[in-house]
Every structure is written in C-alpha cells, then in structure tokens.
C-alpha cells in the first residue's frame, strides 16, 4: 500500500472512487488533526498505513480531505481525530478511538468487536468497526425505478429482514436465512398475501450489542451509519456484498410490484449517553452532532435511548438529506418511515420549531418528490404531533387509530364515537388540513407492542426474557385475553380469539386511510406476551413458517380482504380528492341496531353505517358488534338502481369459508334484519343491476 498522497478535495463527503485512487473527506470543526487509517484486511488488528492530514494542505474550512493514489473499492479504512477533551464545551475528542466515516457506504464488524472499548481509556483499534470504500454507481439496475404507487392503492406490511426467513422452517437455504437474498425467495408469499409495500425495520448498519448484556439488539434502532446496509443481513462475505444483495432484493421486489419503504432512525445513534461508546460522531464533532443539555457535558434524551441527534444543525441536516438521496437514487427505495419523527422538529436546545428546517428540506426536495414519507409523529419526551405534523406530503402513523380500535373491540365504554372517526380516516385529526384520505396510516399492531395474536391472548405484558424484570414495554396495551391468560385448549376461547383477530383486520383494512399490518399477524405469530421484544433475536420474533399451513383459514381471510380492499378503493377514491370532499360526496349514513338511530352513548358497544361509492355503483353496509351478546340489526332498503337484495361479503362469526366470500358468489340476504353474534363484524354489499 504505497500509493502517493495528494491534498484531495472537500467534496463529495465520504470516500469517492476515481480511476487512479480514492478521495476521502470528513467534517470536523474543532478537530486539531486527523489520521486516515488504511487496513490491508478487514479484520487486521492494526492499520497497514496511517495517512496523517496536515491542516495546511488537507483542510478546507471544517472539512479534512486527502487523495490516496492506487486505492480501489473494497479498501477498509477508518479515522482518528485529535482535539480538545472539554465536556463543559461539548468536546469529547479522543485520538485513541477509531471512528467510522459518517458517509461510509459499507461497514465491517470484527468478530471480536467490543462496544465497551469505545468508552474505556486507551486504544480500541483491534476491536472497532471500520468503513469500506465502495464504487456506488456500477450496479446494473436493468431499467428498474421506484414504483411510485399512490397511497390510495397501498397496503403496507411491516416486517423484519432477518426475522422473515431466519427460522429453520422457512425452507430457505441455511446460508441465506435472515438475509436480503432469503427475503427474495419468499416474494411469492408476499404476492399471494396481496400486500403492495413492505416497510422494513432498520436496515442501516446498527450496533447489535446496544442492549442488555447477553442479548442482541434485534429491531435495529441503534444506527452507526446512515448509508451502509446492515452487514448481518447479507449472505455474501465479500466487503461490498451487502450493497449489491440489498439492490438485488429491491429489484426483485419491484418486479413483483412491491414497494420498499425503509424505517429510518435519524433521531439518535448507538453511541448512547455518557456511559455509551464512541464509534463515529462523538469523536468527530460531539458538540454539533448531538443536542446537549444546557451544561454541554451531558446529552438531551428525547429519544429514550441516551442521546438525540441535532437534526436541525446544518451539518446534520446535510447528512440526513444526503442519506435520503443515496437510498433513493442509488438504492432505489420507494419511501421512508421516520422513527420518532417529532424529534426532527426540535432545535439545538430541544425546543419544538414551528417550521423545522430539516423537515422542510425533505418536504421540498425534488429528489424526494413522489417518494413515500411516513412520520411517527411523536417522541419519547412527550411531543405528540399526530394531526399537526408539518408539510403537505407526510403521512402519519395514527396511534389513536390503534388505541381506539383496540378499546372498542375490547368492549370498553365510551368508544363508539371515536371508532366512527377512525373508520372515516380520522377527520377529527386530519380534516382541518384538507389533505388526502390516506394521510392516516392505520394500524393496530406494529413491531413495538403485542402481536395481534397476543393482543387477544394476554392482559399483561410478559417481558421477563428481556432481563429488565418486566419494567420495559408499555403498560397501556388495551388488550383482552378473552378469558384465559396465554395459550389455551378451550375451543370456545380459541374461537373467540380468532374472531377478534378477524375483527381487527376487517376494521383496519376497511377504514379510510393507508392500512398497515404486521409481519406474521396473518398466521397468528406470537411473542408469548412479550410486548417489547427488541432484544430477542430468536424464535420469539422470527416468522414461524409452520403456521402458514396451520392458520390456512385465517391467511385466506386476510388475503381475500386485502385483495377486495384494493378493488373497493378503485370505486371509492378519486385522485386529488381530499378527505373532507370524499366524506361529503361518498354519502355515509350512520345507524345503530335501528336504522338511522346510531347509539353514541357512553355504554354503547355497537355501530352500523352505509356507504355509497362516488359513482353510485356500489353500496356497503357494515355492522360492528363489540357487545357480549348477539344483536339484531335493521337493514336499509336498496334503491332501484341497485340489486334487489344485500349480499353477505364478511361475517367474522361464521366459520371459513363463510367468513369472507367472493363477491361473485356471495349469498343474498333476504331478510330485513341481520343477526350478528357477539363480538363480530359483518359487511354486506350491493351493486348496480348491470
């Protein structure tokens, strides 16, 4: 490794490949000198070459840069930065610590990686992560582009790359289990299920040891890089393998008509608080990358993880936007779900901003035009912005949908009027903005909390396996075990649980908004009552493929419901129509058990409504009974242009295949009333005679 050294240039940031070598550029405002470490092999304990950057030649403004001749893609590198150690001013420079490149497109993790060494005094070179030089633009996309499917024709499936195929019963070859390549093999399952987009839990390189000792961070909300695909999700062993394998996955999903949405974590990093490690940002410019407390010596913690990224600082804004550009332009993803997105609205002192620069940067950026943007519009410090998140293009995870639907089906009082609002796209939250009906992302389960099976099987969380004495995880689950805590052989309770699961799916997939469902809920995946399984990389979290056959009837119900949801939207939606316009022109009539007499009282547990498509070709009559006894619902008469009788599409109280019918063969309902058993949902439809 004897290539010559030239001053290089400050742009682009990161490691950029040229025919005769590589240009390196990194930001450090208060660093006094910078060393570039070059490694002969990914896991060598020591660098084979150290290039010291002279600030007189290799610094322009706050950017340190150098061009090293003869280097090529696959080169392993890292930095060391010397500067003041003065916590009272926010400075935590430590020249002993090996640092990742914030713009590195690949990361290697040595087998003996020691997270704690990043916080102990002394050299951590032998046990530190390193970055990899990548040639970013040589991949053959074969004409692939992001799909840009409208939200109104989308059903989102939240899933985990590793957990989807890691189980030995997945049928995937051992070397591909839990990888991007393994996911590709299961695309036919996703197509059959009918979903149109997968929302992947974090795939940026993260620190799997950022969790209690002895466990593994499974979810991945512990980023160390905003550009590098997580190496453990690649079946390839070569340094640059994860990049191409990720792109192979995206290309294959696009060919199947499935979009790829990434869950991105721009609110904190895995470096933690004062007791945390140093692997990148702390050692480059701690005082700028993080929001610090007023005394500068400790970290503001709006994320609940120990630190908070200073998202509206100009350097961090550029980092975030450059990362998003990279994943759209060079990795072809279709959208992003922003974890704890409300943190991105905080200024450098943690105060909420009326017009946060980074959010407007993303909103107005031409590269992001047409890309799906989804906000988890709250943070761990109590800032809750559902219904008030800025911008014209952001969709929002609707936590109120989750809580209100759970409460209604659980049988809680005072929930009927709130349920009505959730069914109509939550106009109480979003109607004032004159936005599209899909602004509300509707879900009842996600990675954080109970699975759908556990929601109807447990009253209490059971998180002992997390080694925190069940102090972790929320206590507000709005769950109901249907009479027995945990698994049971009682057929009556099992039948009730199955019916409740179908009720949840029916409401989620029929409500106005963008529906999101959780991986494995369609086959009753269980976490045995653990509602915070972030640190369980085992069968507690993995998709159990034996359940596909065992839960064949439920899987059929869900796939049929998704397919007809998408067909229904073609009749009920008009491009460019706002939620308020849709509710005005679609005609929705509310009922109780008696026509035109909805019961909005505190003790009510039932609701019915009739909705007509915009062009008059369809009518749907939906009845929801969360009461513990059967109810008799009056049915509205049909107009002359519609068929002479209602037809039964869904009845969650009926055994399969009567629980959901093909429209073409759905049975007629000849009575003027409909008998709906306890805790069930029914949907009837009628259409024009032609």
pLDDT for residue 78 = 98
Cβ pair 281, 271 in contact under 8 A? yes
pLDDT for residue 287 = 97
Q: Which residue has the higher pLDDT, 644 or 332?
A: 332
pLDDT for residue 617 = 76
CA atoms of 33 and 14, how far apart (whole Å): 17
Provide mean pLDDT across the span 594-609. Answer: 98
CA atoms of 380 and 339, how far apart (whole Å): 11
Domain boundary among 110, 132, 154: 132
CA atoms of 218 and 208, how far apart (whole Å): 7
CATH label of the domain that carries residue 110: 2.60.40.10
The answer, yes or no, to whether residue 688 has pLDDT greater than 90, is: no
- 348: exposed, middle or buried (C-beta count within 10 Å: 0-12, 13-18, 19+)? middle
Catalytic residue among 339, 438, 454, 522: 339
In a domain, 394, yes or no: no
DSSP annotation of 186: T
The answer, yes or no, to whether residue 643 has pLDDT greater than 80, is: no
- Pairing assessment for the beta strands 259-264 and 91-92 based on DSSP bridges: unpaired
**Boundaries of domain holding 64:** 5-132
The per-residue pLDDT for range 442-459, each reduced to its tens digit, is 999 999 999 999 999 999
CATH label of the domain that carries residue 601: 2.60.40.1180
In a domain, 584, yes or no: yes
pLDDT for residue 4 = 94
Token duo for residue 590: 């509310």
The answer, yes or no, to whether residue 551 has pLDDT greater than 60, is: yes
Cα angle value 165/507/403 (rounded, 5°) = 85
Residue found by looking up tokens 């030649």 in the block: 57
Provide mean pLDDT across the span 261-273. Answer: 98
Query: Could you tell me the pLDDT band of residue 358, with boundaries at 50, 70 and 90?
Result: very high
CA atoms of 49 and 356, how far apart (whole Å): 43
Of 334, 16, 11, residue with least CA distance to 147: 334
In a domain, 448, yes or no: no
CA atoms of 311 and 318, how far apart (whole Å): 9
The per-residue pLDDT for range 195-221, each reduced to its tens digit, is 999 999 999 999 999 998 899 999 999
In a domain, 356, yes or no: no
pLDDT for residue 231 = 97
The answer, yes or no, to whether residue 569 has pLDDT greater than 80, is: no
CA atoms of 397 and 337, how far apart (whole Å): 9
pLDDT above 90 covers a percentage of the chain that reads 91
Of 257, 270, 271, 154, residue with least CA distance to 223: 270
Say how many domains are in the chain.
Answer: 2
pLDDT for residue 567 = 77
Cα angle value 418/422/424 (rounded, 5°) = 120
- Pairing assessment for the beta strands 606-612 and 91-92 based on DSSP bridges: unpaired
The per-residue pLDDT for range 74-108, each reduced to its tens digit, is 999 999 999 999 999 999 999 999 999 999 999 99
Those residues whose C-beta lies under 8 Å from the C-beta of residue 218, and which sit 6 or more positions away, are: 160, 162, 163, 208, 533, 534, 535, 536, 537, 541
CA atoms of 224 and 507, how far apart (whole Å): 38
In a domain, 180, yes or no: no
Cβ pair 296, 90 in contact under 8 A? yes
612's enclosing H/E stretch is strand 606-612
CA atoms of 174 and 108, how far apart (whole Å): 22
CA torsion, ordered 64, 66, 72, 73, to nearest 10 deg: 10
In a domain, 672, yes or no: yes
| 339 assigned to active site | yes
pTM of the model: 0.97
Alpha carbons within 13 angstroms on the beta-carbon side of residue 690 total 4
pLDDT for residue 574 = 59
Domain boundary among 83, 117, 132: 132
Helices marked H in 520-551 — which ranges? 546-550
Cβ pair 191, 163 in contact under 8 A? no
Cα angle value 559/560/565 (rounded, 5°) = 100
Provide mean pLDDT across the span 595-616. Answer: 93
Q: What's the mean pLDDT when you consider all of the chain?
A: 95
Q: For residue 494, count other CB atoms closer than 10 A to its CB.
A: 15
Query: Could you tell me the pLDDT band of residue 568, with boundaries at 50, 70 and 90?
Result: low
Q: For residue 209, count other CB atoms closer than 10 A to its CB.
A: 18
Q: For residue 677, count other CB atoms closer than 10 A to its CB.
A: 16
**Residue 650 main-chain phi, psi, to 5 deg:** -125, 135
Query: Could you tell me the pLDDT band of residue 2, with boundaries at 50, 70 and 90?
Result: low
Helices marked H in 431-551 — which ranges? 452-455, 491-510, 546-550
Residue 588 pairs with which residues in a beta bridge? 611
Catalytic residue among 376, 404, 438, 498: 376
Provide mean pLDDT across the span 150-171. Answer: 97
**Residue 453 main-chain phi, psi, to 5 deg:** -60, -45
Domain boundary among 72, 105, 132: 132
In a domain, 53, yes or no: yes
pLDDT for residue 584 = 84
pLDDT above 70 covers a percentage of the chain that reads 98
In a domain, 109, yes or no: yes
Cβ pair 158, 220 in contact under 8 A? no
The answer, yes or no, to whether residue 530 has pLDDT greater than 60, is: yes
Of 174, 180, 170, residue with least CA distance to 203: 180
pLDDT for residue 520 = 98
The per-residue pLDDT for range 301-320, each reduced to its tens digit, is 999 999 999 999 999 999 99
CA atoms of 540 and 137, how far apart (whole Å): 39
- 308: exposed, middle or buried (C-beta count within 10 Å: 0-12, 13-18, 19+)? buried
Token duo for residue 19: 């025919």
The answer, yes or no, to whether residue 1 has pLDDT greater than 60, is: no
Provide mean pLDDT across the span 361-380. Answer: 97
């Amino acid at each position: 490794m004897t290539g010559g050294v030239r001053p290089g240039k400050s742009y682009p940031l990161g490691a950029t490949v040229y025919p005769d070598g590589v240009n390196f550029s990194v930001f450090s405002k208060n660093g006094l000198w910078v060393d570039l470490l070059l490694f002969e092999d990914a896991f060598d304990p020591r660098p084979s070459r150290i290039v010291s950057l002279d600030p007189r030649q290799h610094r322009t403004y706050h950017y340190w840069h150098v061009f090293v001749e003869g280097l090529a893609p696959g080169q392993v590198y890292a930095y060391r930065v010397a500067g003041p150690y003065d916590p009272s001013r926010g400075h935590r420079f430590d020249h002993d610590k090996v640092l990742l490149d914030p713009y590195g497109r690949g990361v290697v993790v040595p087998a003996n990686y020691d997270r704690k060494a990043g916080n102990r005094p002394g050299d951590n070179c032998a046990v530190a992560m390193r970055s990899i030089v990548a040639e970013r633009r040589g991949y053959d996309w074969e004409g692939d582009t992001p799909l840009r499917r409208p939200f109104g024709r989308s059903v989102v499936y939240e899933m985990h790359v590793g957990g989807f195929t890691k189980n030995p019963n997945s049928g995937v070859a051992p070397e591909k289990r839990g990888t991007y390549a393994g996911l590709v093999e299961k695309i036919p399952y996703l197509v059959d299920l009918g979903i149109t987009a997968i929302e992947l839990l974090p795939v940026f390189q993260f620190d799997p040891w950022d969790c209690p000792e002895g466990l593994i961070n499974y979810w991945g909300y512990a980023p160390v890089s905003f550009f590098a695909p997580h190496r453990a999700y690649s079946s390839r062993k070569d340094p640059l393998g994860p990049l191409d394998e990720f792109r192979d996955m995206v290309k294959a999903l696009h060919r199947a008509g499935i979009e790829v949405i990434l869950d991105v974590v721009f609110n904190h990093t895995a470096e933690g608080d004062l007791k945390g490690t140093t692997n990148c940002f702390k050692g480059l410019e701690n005082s700028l990358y993080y929001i610090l407390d007023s005394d500068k010596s400790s970290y503001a913690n709006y994320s609940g993880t120990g630190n908070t990224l200073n998202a509206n600082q100009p350097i961090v804004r550029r980092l975030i936007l450059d990362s998003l550009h990279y994943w759209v332009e060079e990795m072809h993803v279709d959208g992003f779900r922003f974890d704890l997105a409300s943190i991105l609205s905080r200024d450098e002192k943690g105060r909420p901003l009326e017009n946060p620069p980074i959010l407007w940067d993303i909103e107005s950026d031409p590269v992001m035009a047409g890309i799906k943007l989804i906000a988890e519009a709250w943070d761990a410090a109590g800032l809750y912005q559902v219904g008030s998140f800025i911008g014209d293009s952001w969709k929002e995870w609707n936590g109120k949908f989750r809580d209100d639907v759970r409460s209604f089906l659980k049988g809680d009082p005072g929930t009927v009027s709130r349920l009505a609002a959730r069914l109509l796209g939550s106009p109480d939250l979003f109607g004032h903005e004159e936005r599209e009906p899909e602004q509300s992302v509707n879900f009842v389960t996600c990675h954080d909390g109970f699975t759908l099976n556990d929601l109807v099987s447990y009253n209490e969380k059971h998180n002992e396996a997390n080694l925190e004495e069940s102090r972790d995880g929320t206590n507000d689950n709005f769950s109901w075990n249907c009479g027995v805590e945990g698994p049971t052989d009682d057929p009556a309770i099992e039948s009730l649980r199955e019916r409740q699961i179908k009720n949840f799916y029916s409401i989620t997939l029929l409500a106005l908004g963008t529906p999101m469902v959780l991986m494995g809920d369609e086959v009753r995946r269980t976490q045995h009552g653990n509602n915070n399984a972030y640190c369980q990389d085992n069968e507690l979290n993995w998709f159990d493929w034996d359940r596909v056959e065992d839960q064949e009837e439920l899987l059929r119900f869900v796939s049929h419901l998704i397919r007809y949801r998408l067909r229904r939207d073609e009749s009920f939606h008009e491009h460019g129509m706002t939620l308020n316009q849709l509710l005005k022109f679609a005609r929705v009539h509310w009922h109780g058990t008696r026509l035109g007499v909805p019961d909005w009282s505190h003790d009510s547990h039932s609701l019915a409504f009739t909705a007509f498509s915009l062009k008059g070709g369809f009518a749907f009559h939906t009845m929801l009974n969360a009461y513990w006894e059967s109810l008799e619902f009056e049915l509205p008469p049909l107009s002359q242009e519609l068929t002479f009788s209602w037809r039964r599409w869904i009845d969650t109280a009926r055994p399969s295949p009567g629980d959901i019918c093909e429209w073409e063969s759905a049975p007629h309902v000849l009575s003027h009333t409909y008998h709906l058993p306890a805790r069930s949902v029914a949907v009837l439809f009628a259409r024009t005679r032609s």
